[in-house]
Amino acid sequence: MTLTAPPAARPAASGPDLTRAALSGRRRFTNHLATSAIWFAVLLAVIPLALVTYTVIAKGGGVMSLSFLNEDIPNSYRREGGGMGPAIVGTLLITGMAALMAIPLGVFGAIYLNEYGKQRPLARVIRLMSDVMTGVPSIVMGLFIYISWVLLVGEQTGFAGALALACLMLPVVIRSSEEMLRLVPDELRQASMALGARKWKTTLTVVLPAAISGITSGSLLAVARAAGETAPIIIVTGIVFSPNWNLFDGSNTALPAQIFRNASQPFEAAQDRAWGAALTLIVIVLGFTIIARFISSRFAIKER
């Protein structure tokens, strides 16, 4: 008969082992708590966005039609039917003119700040003014254009609205473009200059192509932001009921102004037009955003 020894007793955990186990459990608890808080924050952000999107689509989708996109705006808020053709035309023209003014000037300003100005006094002043203009309310910018342009020329025009939107877009384009240029490695500049290229040619042929995807994306996002501004358009462009293709002659209108004017009326027909205009504006802004992402991805692929 063979006798077997009883199993040895498991040694008790020492002090350092208990400390490590406690720390590991505390880390897991902290990680789960932080993850839950992050998902809760995401949920808080998504729920209002989903509700707004659903409401606009549900109420604006019933109004949307080809005639709504083409017909003139009714000259009475009580009238049913009509469309937002003049507002769509005005939105595209005013925003396009604003982009034509703000994007080149903003990119050139960013090139000066990052490539030439650096920390010189003029560059510091431009950065400071860009930061200040970024926080200026849009209605203040509308009042500035009204006093400095509308009263000077004697009439409200679509070009005045484009000036106001350009002033709102300019600091965004400057700061976003400067950040993109700052991300370009200095080794690329040094290599170009080592081959005998001048600074302006290095900036044009090396630095800009390397940062063009971010500059394009930031610029188009600034355009999308400006397309939804209401206060400057109401103050400086006036109102029309039929399309005005001339930005320099006569009043104009845009979708944000029509949303405000129709939504503030007690008539059901006007409120329906406001919902339809809101959905149209969301689609336009979404289109700008998709174009920005597409162009950015295309340039990124070419850089690779």
CATH assignment at residue 165: 1.10.3720.10
Give domain status of residue 78, yes or no.
no
pLDDT of residue 302: 56
120/192 Cα distance (integer angstroms): 24
pLDDT of residue 277: 92
Give domain status of residue 219, yes or no.
yes
pLDDT per residue as tens digits for the range 118-155: 888 998 999 999 888 888 888 999 999 999 999 998 88
Residue 221 sits in which domain range? Answer: 83-299
Give domain status of residue 112, yes or no.
yes
pLDDT of residue 286: 86
Cβ contacts of 135 within 8 Å, gap of 6 or more: none
Report in angstroms the alpha-carbon separations of 64 from 35, 69, 72, 274: 41, 7, 14, 11
Of 194, 191, 188, residue with least CA distance to 208: 188
Give domain status of residue 46, yes or no.
no
Q: How many domains does the chain have?
A: 1
Give domain status of residue 53, yes or no.
no
Give domain status of residue 71, yes or no.
no
**Can you read off the two tokens belonging to residue 104?**
């080149």
* Residue whose structure tokens are 């850089």: 303
The DSSP-derived string for 256-293 is HHHHHHHHTSS-HHHHHHHHHHHHHHHHHHHHHHHHHH
pLDDT per residue as tens digits for the range 8-62: 555 555 556 656 666 677 788 888 889 999 999 999 989 998 998 899 999 888 8
